[in-house]
Structure 1
Amino acid sequence: MNDQFFRLTLVIYKMSGGGAQRVLSIIANYFAEKGWAITLMTFDDGSQPSFYQLHPSIKCRTLSIMRNQQGLLKTLCMHLLRPFILRSAIRKSKPDVVIAFIDLSNILTLVSTFGLKIPVIVSERVNPAYHSIGIFWSTLRLMVYRWASCLVVQTQDAMSWFSPSIQKISRIISNPIIAVPIVEKKDKSSGENKVIMAMGRLVEQKGFDLLLKAFSRIENQFPNCQLHIWGQGEEKENLLKIRDELGLKERVCFKGMSQDHNYTMGQADIFVLSSRYEGFPNVLGEAMACGLPVISFNCPSGPSEMIIHEKNGLLISSIDEEHLAKGLHRLMEDELWANQLGNEAQKITETYSLEKVMGQWEKLILEIIGNERKN
């Protein structure tokens, strides 16, 4: 199997610094290392390079079908042209399999490849029960996903949202969690401020408003503690306003995008996932792999599959600031116990190793190629 050569085309709207993009880059790099021909297609204009490093053999094609048009007629024309532009690009790449990531990219890819007899794998990256894409797109998704060779989801919860006919062609593949040794770890005996960190897009889903309110409940009890929030997004101004209204300007820092998660996590003492819902939270797995004590809402879906409560982290059953504050207080108050949780958390890499997860992807791809050639 390792000597076989295949052409793989990957489709996503853009290669920004999100969790879905990170996993897609891992898939692309893994198969490029095996000598497969990888084409990565994005819908943007290429003005922003991929946030994640890509293997030099990967062909990147930017289709410029996301750009805003001046005027209603031009906008309508672009919407109508998108499937044809993507269809032409996919045909030229001559793939054995196409893999699309994220709901709207999945829908457009399936519409674009209709009738081409090219197998398409689509992958949902969040739980659709909690992430609305609107009635039109949601209805279209349920219609066109039946055309896919396979739907990949990350959890059983996400799979259960779909109809039985779509579940029959679905596969659960979690994200890989890669153990990377921390090059420069914080000296916790140095007397420096303790750092609680969180990371993610600054959007309502991630619950940073709840985190700020939870932190405000404990900040007076731990005056040497700071909260660092990493990420960018449209909710930044609102979150800054909440921070300032809570009197936390000197205690909470919004750090922007992290180019080196490994170093960033090495400088933290506790990691918090305050999301209202997730798909499979990559950043939680990274924090656990780095040996950080972690605390997370038991939101749908992902955290409960990674955290065993009070063994390798804390799961907060109620999604509110009061219970989150109590959990943070426990970790801050008992540093020895928190460190024990962090040590146990590192074992997460055994369950979600790169080899195991990518082995599942490879098995699926080869299975679909084999079925296609039989037909």
Structure 2
Amino acid sequence: MKLIYCIHSICNPGGMERVLWNKVTYWTRHTDWQVLIVTTDQQGRPAFYPFPEQVRCVDLGINYSDDNAKSPAGKILGYLKRRRIHRQRLKELLMRERADIVVSLYPSESSFIPDIRDGSKKVLELHFCKFFRLQYGRKGVLGLIDRWRTRQDERIVRRFDRFVVLTDEDRGYWGALPNLEVIPNAVTNLSPHLSDGSAHRVIAVGRLDYQKGFDRLLWAWDIVQKSGRFSDWHLDIFGQGEWHDMLQGIIKKRGLTQTACIHRPTGRIGEEYARSSLIVTTSHYEGLPMVMIEGMACGLPVVSFDCKCGPKDIIRQGENGLLVADGDIAGLADALMEVMGDDDRRKRMSRHARKITDTYAEEAVMGRWSRLFASITRA
């Protein structure tokens, strides 16, 4: 079996990159498959996660992200030009490689890859939710494009041999598509140590950008600190991105420098989970938040906004975490204080959180992928 994954890049410590690394590592350990990763925007940067040596990586040099700072018109023209080059280069590669299965992780090739007749089966894997393009609330021309592309997504996904989403919630938004399957992300063992719920530390992990909503987290943390009850608790955010300076400004302006800190991403995040007692998620949208299930596997109860999609599939209210109405900053602060202020409850929730591995065990999840690949290659 030859398997190709298409992704924007693998240089960032994001959840999608983490999930791909988990899968590719599993295939190389448990099968004799050939695996190739094809990127568009790697730009010579090293992979953040240590992909196995036998996995080949090829960058097409499209560099869509070079247009991010341009005007709306410049972005549109740049995207169309780069997509034509992308289509040509990817077709040449696929015709040369002749893979059995090609998986698109929903970058730009999803609109044209089913038309490439290289003999492979095509799988589309969505790591967000159906409405991810609309969560930014953009206005004007870009807002119209977001709405148009969301409608086009409904047409695009039907053209693949399989379309895979992460949650039952998201499946409901797409409707009764004949090629639709739900396969969640798997959780892997990140650390030999587990949290016992005693550390007075809250952790958040993710890219410092709009999606993860860490500005909302800091506003809630300000409320927590103003209560005067939790001055011995600390909030640690691990991530990098374009919002770093803005978030640092909130910390300084709100007088949180003694209790909140932003750290660079770490390859030893499991140890950081074990040194914490609570994980918090404030995203505007998700697919299935990898950091949430990884943190829970390490014994962390979770407090999260009820965003689309993922948290309501994972959290059992009051048992392994607390869900808060999306955007309710005061409610988020109250939920944090509810868990932080009750040692016995927090430790009980910690024990329940570890049971997440029963649902998202690697062997079970990867077995579902194996059966999917076998079924479409037999067809």
Report how far residue 76 of structure 1 moved.
6.0
1:319 partnered with 2:346: no
Which has the higher mean CA deviation after the structures are superposed, 313-322 or 51-60?
A: 313-322
Residue 126 of structure 1 corresponds to: 128
Alignment of 1:194-343 (within 5 A): 194-219=200-225, 220-343=228-351
Contact (CA 8 Å) 1:43, 1:66: kept in 2 or not? yes
Q: Secondary structure of 1:26's partner? A: helix
**RMSD after superposition:** 2.4
Q: Secondary structure of 2:90's partner? A: helix
Amino acid corresponding to residue 202 of structure 1 in structure 2: L
Report how far residue 139 of structure 1 moved.
4.4
Contact (CA 8 Å) 1:195, 1:228: kept in 2 or not? yes
Contact (CA 8 Å) 2:103, 2:125: kept in 1 or not? yes
CA distance in 2, matches of 1:238, 1:313: 29
1:31 partnered with 2:49: no
CA distance in 1, matches of 2:287, 2:330: 24
Structure 2 runs not aligned, ≥5 long: 135-144
CA distance in 1, matches of 2:110, 2:79: 21
**Relative to structure 1, is the Cα distance of residues 196 and 105 closer, same or farther in structure 2, using a 3 angstrom cutoff?**
farther
Contact (CA 8 Å) 2:304, 2:323: kept in 1 or not? yes
Q: How many residues align structurally?
A: 357
CA distance in 1, matches of 2:377, 2:285: 34
1:44 partnered with 2:41: yes
Give the counterpart of 2:158 among 146, 150, 157: 146
Contact (CA 8 Å) 2:305, 2:324: kept in 1 or not? yes
Residue 179 of structure 1 corresponds to: 189
CA distance in 1, matches of 2:290, 2:211: 15
Normalising by structure 2, what TM-score? 0.87
CA distance in 2, matches of 1:74, 1:161: 31
CA distance in 1, matches of 2:78, 2:222: 49
Residue 8 of structure 1 corresponds to: 3
CA distance in 2, matches of 1:310, 1:184: 20
Residue 22 of structure 1 corresponds to: 18
Report how far residue 108 of structure 1 moved.
4.7
CA shift digits 1:315-344 (9 cap, x unpaired): 223531111111111111111210110111
Amino acid corresponding to residue 120 of structure 2 in structure 1: I
CA distance in 1, matches of 2:42, 2:21: 18
Residue 86 of structure 1 corresponds to: 90
Identity of aligned residues (%): 27
Report how far residue 81 of structure 1 moved.
1.5
CA distance in 1, matches of 2:78, 2:182: 40
Amino acid corresponding to residue 142 of structure 1 in structure 2: E
CA distance in 1, matches of 2:271, 2:155: 44
Q: Secondary structure of 1:161's partner? A: helix
Normalising by structure 1, what TM-score? 0.88
Report how far residue 109 of structure 1 moved.
3.2
Residue 3 of structure 1 corresponds to: none
Structure 1 runs not aligned, ≥5 long: 1-5
Q: Secondary structure of 2:54's partner? A: coil
Q: Secondary structure of 2:261's partner? A: strand
CA distance in 2, matches of 1:46, 1:273: 30
Amino acid corresponding to residue 9 of structure 1 in structure 2: I
1:66 partnered with 2:63: yes
**Relative to structure 1, is the Cα distance of residues 109 and 349 closer, same or farther in structure 2, using a 3 angstrom cutoff?**
same
Contact (CA 8 Å) 1:9, 1:38: kept in 2 or not? yes
Q: Secondary structure of 2:35's partner? A: strand
CA distance in 2, matches of 1:245, 1:360: 48
Contact (CA 8 Å) 1:8, 1:39: kept in 2 or not? yes
